[in-house]
């Protein structure tokens, strides 16, 4: 069901005018920056960016075509479609050395996990946990290895359950990492409170000890309790190391936990009220105030963006980020120099017509360019 967040009148009018303009330009064959017009690609000339990445800067493009974390087919083609859109060429044009890693073979990995399952190894409220767990274990190992080599893991999903693997690998290699979660949804569920049992709504909840003490109770996720290689313990995300941007569709239990744990959360109301610039100031101030040199990870769910710009996704909710707000989030985090890893998820071409699917893929591509240093000036 589509939900409509409250808005202040002025912000509402500005957004609606912008949406109508974008729609009319699309019909007329013009462009509002959503792929209908050509734009030149300029790398930033700021050499202080990506200071957590070894020289020469190398981006490791990791395809994670996961689809078991949610009920729709199609998310598994996200990495393929982003590559076909010319992403790798753009990354090279932005000055990166590009290590294009073949997509993780989730078909084989997940099939093997399912084959070894039994009735007693199926969690009643964590759907396909064996498949999701096996795929995320492989992803975690790969992400951790690339970070330890000083590279920039760029993870292309796939549904957002891959965040379990991304976060596990990141927190094993760099446990002080701060996380910016750009999403319409909080993804703070665990099986005991989930309303759907879909694991794309659980990656953050499963990383917080305050919400689940022992993850070995979930079949397929036993590996999350293994000690890190450096002896720092299993990967966990402290609540004060997380900031949400763009929330607008939150489950009742998630709402309660956000407040109880003191998680910093900026909803669409905050963005309407304060503006995206002030929101990002406050978000980064929260993450960096006690450790200005900490690395950052940005997880970008395409459904954070309003469906007028990104219709091809599984859990679209009206009232999201505008095209420019979406890019500003990425650009602003890059300007800190602290971004050390990023992922983009939930692009699903099957859930919109041809034009909507193309626009969503192009937007995802452009957001990745922004995350990797594309500069307006």
Quote the distance between the C-alpha of residue 367 and its chain's center. 11
Q: How far apart are CA 324 and CA 305, in angstroms?
A: 10
Is 170 strand, coil or helix? helix
Cα 180-174-209 angle, rounded to 5 deg: 70
Catalytic positions: 160, 183, 185, 187, 200, 301, 303, 346
Is 169 strand, coil or helix? helix
301-330 as b/e: b if 16+ CB within 10 A: bbbbbbbbbbbbbbbbbebbbbbebbbbbb
Residue ranges with strand state E in 131-223: 152-157, 178-182
Beta bridge partners of 97: 58
Q: How far apart are CA 328 and CA 326, in angstroms?
A: 6
The torsion region of residue 75 among left (phi > 0), alpha (psi -120 to 50) and beta comes to alpha
The torsion region of residue 220 among left (phi > 0), alpha (psi -120 to 50) and beta comes to left
Q: How far apart are CA 83 and CA 98, in angstroms?
A: 12
Q: What is the DSSP letter of 65?
A: -
Q: How far apart are CA 108 and CA 112, in angstroms?
A: 6
| Radius of gyration from C-alpha coordinates of the chain | 19
Quick one: CA torsion of 306, 340, 154, 45, rounded to 10 degrees? 80
């Amino acid at each position: 069901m589509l939900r409509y967040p409250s808005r202040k009148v002025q912000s509402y009018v500005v957004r609606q005018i912008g949406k109508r303009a974008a729609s009319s330009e699309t019909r007329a064959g013009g462009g509002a920056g959503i792929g209908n017009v050509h734009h030149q690609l300029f790398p930033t000339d700021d050499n202080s960016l990506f200071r957590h990445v070894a020289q020469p800067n190398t981006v490791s493009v990791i395809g994670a075509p996961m689809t078991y974390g949610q009920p729709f087919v199609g998310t598994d083609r996200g990495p393929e479609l982003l590559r076909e859109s010319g992403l790798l060429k753009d990354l090279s044009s932005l000055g990166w050395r590009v290590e294009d890693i073949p997509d993780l073979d989730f078909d084989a990995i997940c099939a093997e996990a399912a084959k070894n399952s039994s009735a007693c190894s199926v969690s009643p409220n964590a759907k396909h946990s064996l498949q999701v767990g096996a795929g995320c274990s492989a992803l975690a190992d790969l992400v951790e290895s690339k970070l330890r080599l000083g590279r920039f893991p760029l993870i292309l999903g796939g549904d957002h359950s891959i965040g379990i693997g991304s976060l596990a690998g990141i927190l094993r290699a760099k446990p002080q990492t701060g996380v910016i979660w750009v999403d319409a949804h909080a993804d703070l569920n665990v099986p005991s409170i989930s309303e759907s049992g879909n694991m794309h709504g659980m990656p953050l909840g499963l990383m917080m000890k305050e919400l689940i003490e022992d993850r070995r109770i979930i079949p397929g996720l036993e590996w999350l309790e293994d000690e890190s290689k450096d002896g720092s313990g299993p990967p966990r995300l402290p609540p004060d190391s997380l900031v949400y941007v763009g929330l607008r569709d939150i489950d009742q239990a998630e709402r309660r936990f956000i407040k109880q744990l003191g998680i910093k959360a900026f909803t669409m109301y905050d963005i309407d009220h304060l503006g995206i610039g002030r929101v990002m100031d406050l978000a980064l101030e929260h993450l960096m105030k006690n450790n200005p040199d900490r690395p950052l990870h940005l997880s970008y769910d395409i459904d954070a963006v309003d469906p007028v710009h990104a219709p091809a996704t599984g859990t679209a909710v009206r009232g999201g980020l505008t095209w420019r707000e979406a890019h500003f989030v990425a650009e602003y985090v890059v300007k800190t120099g602290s971004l050390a890893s990023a992922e983009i998820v939930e692009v699903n071409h099957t859930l919109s017509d041809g034009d909507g699917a193309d626009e969503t893929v192009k937007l995802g591509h452009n957001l990745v360019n922004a995350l990797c240093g594309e500069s307006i000036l």
